[in-house]
Structure 1
Amino acid sequence: MRKNTFLLVILAMVSLTTMAQTVDRSNFKAGILAGMPVGDASNYSTFALGLDVAHHWGVSELFDAGIATGYIHAFGESNSLAGGAVTYEFEDLQFIPVAAAIRIYPTYEFKFGADVGYALALNENIDGGFYIRPSIGYNITGNTELNVSYIKVSNEVDFSMVAVGLLFLF
């Protein structure tokens, strides 16, 4: 079942890339992110890195709607129990979000919005879950954006992190 889900996500990403090449490329975005887990996630993860891919269509001058995906890799942490007598290694967590995206542009430099969808878990022992990512972005140049976001994947154990990302518009 997981192989079928993973294959479906790969096909969706390839379709997104192909579609981005056939429409107005100025709204295709790709970039990197780095984050720190917060809340319960900080007990079993230390740091996260990821990739972002999105395509937005201009609904109006002030509003975009689109789709977003990517990859999040949270690195597991080592914890000691019983005064250091026992060390437990938490495994890394990997997610592939598939989401709808909206962005609102109050000015040319600033934007805010959210991605809402589902995050597929690539680990065998956890399930995916509801994915939400509110964000605030700043245009550094005409094709480079710096953003700050809060990422949350809700399943039997919530995974949350605060991230900083750099996106490039193509």
Structure 2
Amino acid sequence: MIDYLAQRTAEHIKQVIPEHPASIAVLKYALLIVINTLGIVLMTILFSSLLGTFEHAMIIMIVFALLRQLTGGYHLQSGVSCIVVSSSLFVALSLVTFSDLYCIIFTCMSILLILIFAPSNIHKQSRIPKKYYSLLKIAGCLLVATNLYVLSVPFALASLAQSVTLIRRR
């Protein structure tokens, strides 16, 4: 469905502006990213607002997205599944609370997973040369380590959820 919408929109753009330098394939790819991102953001905002967890869901979504840019991770096969799984995860995690001790434990677990597995599955998603991958790992660890000072439960949950997506068989 999302693929069809992106394809039709790309074709329409090319029809209206035939001299546009981007090909239909490039336009479609860009539109897929925009539609997926917008879908996740809108669904997360809607459901977290209904549940009264908007602030926590926004923290989770932002931390997850930032960490994902630095460390990579598993990608779902379809845009619809990405939207449904991601927004459901963000909203579900926004409902969770626990003590500072667990916040520290989950933050340390995230750092450990990043040290072991990051960056993961990033070579097809980024133009960053492989020689800088160690810097991405360090940046990801530093981002997560800030939560040892802040002690934010949503931050810890987002970090752990994203860090788990790094795990894959080699």
Bigger relative contact order, structure 1 or 2 (CA pairs below 8 A, ≥6 apart): 2
TM-score normalised by structure 1 residue count: 0.33
Q: Which has the higher strand share?
A: 1
Q: Which has the higher helix share?
A: 2
Q: If the length of structure 2 is used for normalisation, what is the TM-score?
A: 0.33
